[in-house]
Each structure stands twice: as structure tokens, then as C-alpha cells.
């Protein structure tokens, strides 16, 4: 609690700003429920920030998106991350989060030489034969310029914005505080684990601000596709790359946002859709390391034909076990296997208790709806959407890597259909699934898994006597303990403390009324308006206490 208080005091100016933005967009009650510091609430009163009539008429998802845009880079990125949580938010919320734009005014050109000098340790004119001060892309974390190295070769120079690290870190501290308050004040929000989402978002933002980490991602992708003639990954110039700047090969071609230019370059859109889908599915199912945001702005189409991926700040990682689960789920979908789907989805629920009978019924209805539908008529985005609706209805929260994966698949299918109206992602997905299932049952892989299982079993059996002996020793020495996770105990203690305070105030108020009544019968002492002053003063204090009690109880009921 002390740490949270110090954090709130440290970031008070920013919290005032956040409170003002929330009130301005008609989200003042939300700010109040989150128990922002009292000084922040007072700031809203000082500024007279009331909900506008227009805000009241605007749907809540729109107002939240507008507030996130006004709050700046960190909150825009948060909204973009939330747009991947198709397991948490309904489609109309996802649609609003997807509208969040990361375009911001460029860095002042006069600052660029000093920034490059600080990032690269040398004057830009000594490193570059030419440097275009006009950025080709300007986002919240960094912006990109085209340049030519002294030794030749066009490069893209991605430069981190000045002061962005301190600002993002302050916002991340505030988000951590708000996530804790959200779980405290909104019981229904606890199932979405806002604190865990913020922790994952913090790790993601920390990696994204380190441009050298993005460069390492690029090299990993380059190795994965070294033998693929249809995929381009820009090369990294490590002599000019660090946490503040990323210098990479400049990729020529047709941006994914300008599909109207493909014909002039002699590029077949259907080929691009096919090669792009195969590349992303290979990332997901074979490599376990994928571009998490394959939207049109992050792909470039080249003659050859080749497809180039850029901007590797947001990536997803899948363990071997997770990839096996995904293959099992996809295989169950293709084979209409209700039990197989249910086993995987229940595995993803973790420790959450669900109504398995109703869950099985709902999965059966989903499978039945697609049982006789030809493969060519199945859209993976629609199928994932229905599956996510089922998951939301049962309050299941997917692991973060899976939420990002499903969002990537939906984005991929959308891009594919822009390129080719007849594109069907599931036609590309099915061969991958069949291949992976066949490989899993190959005798060599069966022997390998059997050997691994046998080794684990023997290791467990060999350590069992030692573990039992240690347990017995702990019990004899009184060291054996049972840990109970009493969730929400802090909230219960707070409510208990508040109730005790009210009870004490009520007793004091009652005593004042009784004591003042007795004093009113005594003729001695100072008088006011002909009545004993002490008795009147006691009644005044009792009245104030009573009003405070009524207001406190009313506010508590309103929050509930």
C-alpha cells in the first residue's frame, strides 16, 4: 500500500491528466470507481470537466477509444494489444480498438542531428552519404527515415523518440495501479485478470522500446526463411543498431496499403495471398515464432514474386506444447471431433472451474453447424469468432500467446481476401495440420516421445524416496505447512475497517445525542438563545456525524 501511495504521488500530474480525459469523455464514474487519488478527483472539480451531451449519446466503446487516443502512445498501444483479446471483448469493442491509429507528428527536423549523434556516437554526416529528414513513417515509439550509407546501400533508419522511455514507464506504473483498482472495485473484471494483462503489456512495451530487440527478432525470422524464395526479411546493420536506433536494409516494393499498384508492377495478387498465408502459417505451426500483426502496413509486395515483412516490434512465441495443442484443436475442427475440441479448450482454461456439461453442449452445437459445410465455404475468421463467443460466454480467458495468435489469423485472412476475393485461409491451413499430425505419429517421433516420457518417469521414481523422507522430516520438525490463497482478503479487511469506523461513529453520535439531551436539562453554564451552549454544540456535532454516516452509506450503496 505504501509503494502504491508513493507511486500515485510521484505520478500525480499524469494521473490528473488521465482523470481529466476520462471525465471529458464521459467516463468520470469509471475514474471514481477506480479510486484515483482524491487530489485527482478534486482536479476534475476544479477544471469543471463535466460530461458533454455528445459524450452521453456516444457508445461506450467509442468513448473509450477516443480517450485512449487522447492519452497518448502507451494507451494507444494498450488499445492495440486489447484488440487482440478476441476472447475477452465482443466484436464491437474489437472493431473500435482496431481503429486506434499510431500516427503522431514527426520529430522536429532540427532535433534529428543531435538525436542521431547521441544514438550512434558520431555525427550523421560521417555515417550516411545522405539522410532524408522527412520521415517515411512516424509512430508513437519511433519514426523511420530513408538514408544511404557511406559505403553504399539504401537503409531504413528507425529512431526512437526522445523522452519516450520516461513517459511510457510513468504510464506503465499508473496502469499497474489502475489494474489493481479495477480488480478491487469491479468484481466481474477479475476473471479477465487485468493485472496479468498489464504485466504482459509492460513486458511487450519494454521490448518494443528496445530497437535492438526488434533487430534480433528480424534476424531470427531471416534464419527461419533463409531458404524461402518468396519471403524477404530486411537485413540488420549491427554496426549502427542499438536500443535507440535500428538501421536495416530499405525494402523497395508495393506497400500492402496500395494494392492498386500491383498490376503495374506485374505482381499477381493471388500469388501474394498464397505466399503470405504459407509464410505466416509456417511461422506459427512450424517455427513457433510469428509476426503478430501482419496487417497491410507491415507487408511489402515485390516482383519475383516475393513478400517482405517489416516492423517486428510485436511478435508472438509458441512453445512446442502449445503448437501441439493448436494442431489438436485444428485437427478436431477438420474431423468434427467434439471431444477433441473440448479437451484442448478445457486445458486452456487453466484452474478456472466451468460447467463442463454445458460447455460440451455448446461445442457440439458449434461442430454440428459446420459438419456438412464444404471446406471452401468455411471462413476461418468467422469460425474463430464463433469459438471466441463460446469462450466469452463461459468466462474463459485464453493465454496471451493464443489470443495474439487468433488475432493474427483473423488479420491474415482479411489481408488475403483483399488480395484475392476467392482466398480461403482454411485451404492453406488444412495441409499444415495434416502434415503435422502425420509427423507426430511417425515411428521416429513416437520413439523419441516414448524415450522422453520414460526418462521423466524414471527420474520421478528415483527422487520419490528422497522427497518422502524430506516430507517426513519436515513434519517431525513442525515445518510442514499448508498455504491457503485467500483471495480478496485485502478488500475484505478494508471493508471491515470501514464498517468498524462507521459503527464507532454511530456509537459516538448516539452518545452525543444522549449526553446533549442530559445537558439541556441543566441550567448551569453558558447559554445561547436561552439554551445551554454545550448541549447545542453536542447536537451540532451529532448532526454532522449523522449526515456523514448517511452520505458514507449512500456512496457505498452506489458503488455496490
The secondary structure of 498-516 as a DSSP string is HHHHHHHHHHHHHHHHHHH
Q: Which helix (H) or strand (E) holds 327?
A: helix 320-335
Same domain, 116 and 21: no
pLDDT reading at 250 higher than 90: yes
Domain assignment of residue 468, yes or no = no
Domain count, the chain: 4
Same domain, 87 and 116: no
Instruction: Name which residue leads in pLDDT, 138 or 484.
Output: 138
* Gap between the Cα atoms of 426 and 170, Å rounded: 43
Residue that terminates a domain, selected from 250, 271, 292? 250
Residue that terminates a domain, selected from 184, 218, 250? 250
Domain assignment of residue 549, yes or no = yes
pLDDT digits (tens, 9 = 90+) for 323-382: 888 888 877 776 777 888 888 887 877 656 777 788 888 888 887 887 777 666 778 778
Place of cell 498455504: 483
- The range of the structural domain enclosing residue 377 comes to 254-459
Is 490 tagged catalytic? no
Residue 41 has a pLDDT of: 46
152: left (phi over 0), alpha (psi -120 to 50) or beta: left
Helix (H, G, I), strand (E, B) or coil at 149: strand
Confidence of residue 45 (pLDDT cuts 50, 70, 90): very low
Residue 197 has a pLDDT of: 83
Place of cell 523518440: 161
Same domain, 276 and 245: no
Domain assignment of residue 464, yes or no = no
pLDDT digits (tens, 9 = 90+) for 396-435: 777 777 878 888 888 888 888 888 888 888 888 878 877 8
Same domain, 518 and 399: no
Which residue among the candidates 11, 171, 293, 328 is catalytic per the annotation?
293
pLDDT digits (tens, 9 = 90+) for 211-223: 999 999 999 999 9
Confidence of residue 38 (pLDDT cuts 50, 70, 90): very low
Same domain, 109 and 99: no
- Kindly state the percentage of the chain with pLDDT values over 70: 83
Same domain, 38 and 97: yes
* Gap between the Cα atoms of 419 and 269, Å rounded: 5
Residue that terminates a domain, selected from 217, 250, 283? 250
Same domain, 276 and 403: yes
Taking the alpha carbons of 365, 86, 300, 204 in that order, is the dihedral positive or negative? negative
Same domain, 278 and 421: yes
Residues 54, 355: contact at Cβ < 8 Å?
no
* Gap between the Cα atoms of 330 and 299, Å rounded: 26
* Gap between the Cα atoms of 421 and 72, Å rounded: 36
Same domain, 328 and 273: yes
* Gap between the Cα atoms of 162 and 529, Å rounded: 69
Same domain, 304 and 436: yes
Same domain, 23 and 76: yes
Domain assignment of residue 511, yes or no = yes
Same domain, 72 and 114: no
* Gap between the Cα atoms of 280 and 315, Å rounded: 12
Domain assignment of residue 49, yes or no = yes
Domain assignment of residue 470, yes or no = no
Domain assignment of residue 482, yes or no = no
pLDDT reading at 446 higher than 70: no
pLDDT digits (tens, 9 = 90+) for 98-143: 888 656 778 888 899 999 999 988 888 888 999 998 998 887 788 8
Domain assignment of residue 217, yes or no = yes
Residue 2 has a pLDDT of: 46
Question: What is the distance of C-alpha 555 from the center of its chain?
Answer: 32
Global model pTM greater than 0.85: no
| Average pLDDT score, the chain | 79
Amino acid at each position: 500500500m505504501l509503494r502504491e501511495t508513493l507511486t500515485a504521488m510521484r505520478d500525480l500530474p499524469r494521473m490528473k491528466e488521465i482523470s481529466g480525459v476520462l471525465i471529458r469523455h464521459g467516463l468520470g464514474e469509471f475514474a471514481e470507481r477506480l479510486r484515483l487519488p482524491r487530489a485527482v478527483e478534486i482536479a476534475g472539480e476544479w477544471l469543471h470537466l463535466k460530461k458533454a451531451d455528445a459524450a452521453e449519446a456516444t457508445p461506450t466503446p467509442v468513448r473509450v477509444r477516443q480517450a485512449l487516443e487522447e492519452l497518448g502512445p502507451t494507451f494507444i498501444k494498450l488499445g492495440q494489444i486489447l484488440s487482440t483479446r478476441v476472447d475477452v471483448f465482443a466484436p464491437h469493442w474489437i472493431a473500435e480498438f482496431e481503429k486506434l491509429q499510431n500516427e503522431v507528428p514527426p520529430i522536429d527536423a532540427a532535433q534529428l542531428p543531435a538525436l542521431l549523434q547521441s544514438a550512434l556516437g558520431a555525427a550523421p554526416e560521417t555515417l550516411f552519404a545522405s539522410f532524408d529528414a522527412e520521415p517515411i513513417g512516424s509512430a508513437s515509439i519511433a519514426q523511420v527515415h530513408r538514408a544511404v550509407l557511406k559505403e553504399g546501400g539504401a537503409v531504413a533508419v528507425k529512431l526512437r523518440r526522445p523522452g519516450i522511455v520516461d513517459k511510457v514507464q510513468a504510464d506503465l506504473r499508473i496502469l499497474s495501479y489502475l489494474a489493481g483498482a479495477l480488480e478491487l472495485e469491479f468484481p466481474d473484471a477479475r476473471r479477465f485478470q487485468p493485472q496479468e494483462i498489464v504485466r504482459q503489456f509492460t513486458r511487450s512495451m519494454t521490448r518494443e522500446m528496445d530497437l535492438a530487440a526488434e533487430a534480433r527478432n528480424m534476424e531470427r525470422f531471416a534464419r527461419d526463411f533463409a531458404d524461402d524464395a518468396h519471403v524477404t526479411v530486411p537485413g540488420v546493420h549491427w554496426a549502427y543498431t542499438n536500443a535507440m536506433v535500428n538501421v536495416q536494409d530499405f525494402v523497395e516494393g508495393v506497400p500492402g496499403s496500395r494494392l492498386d499498384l500491383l498490376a503495374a508492377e506485374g505482381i499477381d495478387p493471388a500469388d501474394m495471398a498464397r505466399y503470405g498465408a504459407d509464410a505466416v502459417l509456417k511461422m506459427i505451426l512450424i517455427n513457433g515464432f510469428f509476426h503478430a500483426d501482419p496487417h497491410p502496413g507491415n507487408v511489402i509486395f515485390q516482383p519475383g514474386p516475393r513478400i517482405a515483412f517489416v516492423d517486428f516490434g510485436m511478435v508472438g512465441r509458441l512453445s512446442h506444447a502449445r503448437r501441439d495443442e493448436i494442431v489438436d484443436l485444428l485437427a478436431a475442427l477438420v474431423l468434427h471431433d467434439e471431444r477433441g475440441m473440448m479437451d484442448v479448450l478445457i486445458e486452456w482454461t487453466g484452474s478456472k472451474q466451468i460447467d463442463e456439461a454445458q460447455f460440451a453442449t455448446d461445442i457440439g452445437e458449434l461442430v454440428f453447424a459446420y459438419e456438412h459445410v464444404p471446406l471452401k465455404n468455411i471462413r476461418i475468421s468467422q469460425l474463430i469468432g464463433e469459438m471466441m463467443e463460446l469462450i466469452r460466454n463461459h468466462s474463459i480467458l485464453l493465454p496471451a500467446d493464443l489470443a495474439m495468435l487468433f488475432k493474427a489469423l483473423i488479420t491474415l485472412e482479411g489481408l488475403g481476401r483483399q488480395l484475392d476475393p476467392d482466398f480461403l485461409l482454411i485451404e492453406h491451413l488444412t495441409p499444415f495440420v495434416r502434415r503435422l499430425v502425420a509427423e507426430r505419429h511417425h515411428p521416429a517421433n513416437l520413439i523419441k516421445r516414448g524415450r522422453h516420457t520414460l526418462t521423466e518417469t524414471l527420474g520421478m521414481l528415483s527422487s520419490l524416496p528422497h522427497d518422502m523422507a524430506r516430507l517426513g522430516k519436515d513434519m517431525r520438525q513442525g515445518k510442514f505447512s499448508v498455504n491457503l490463497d485467500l483471495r480478496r482478503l485485502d478488500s475484505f479487511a478494508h471493508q471491515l475497517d470501514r464498517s468498524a469506523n462507521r459503527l464507532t461513529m454511530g456509537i459516538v453520535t448516539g452518545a452525543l445525542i444522549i449526553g446533549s439531551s442530559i445537558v439541556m436539562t441543566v441550567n448551569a453554564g453558558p447559554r445561547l438563545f436561552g439554551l445551554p451552549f454545550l448541549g447545542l454544540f453536542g447536537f451540532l456535532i451529532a448532526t454532522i456525524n449523522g449526515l456523514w454516516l448517511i452520505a458514507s452509506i449512500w456512496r457505498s450503496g452506489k458503488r455496490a
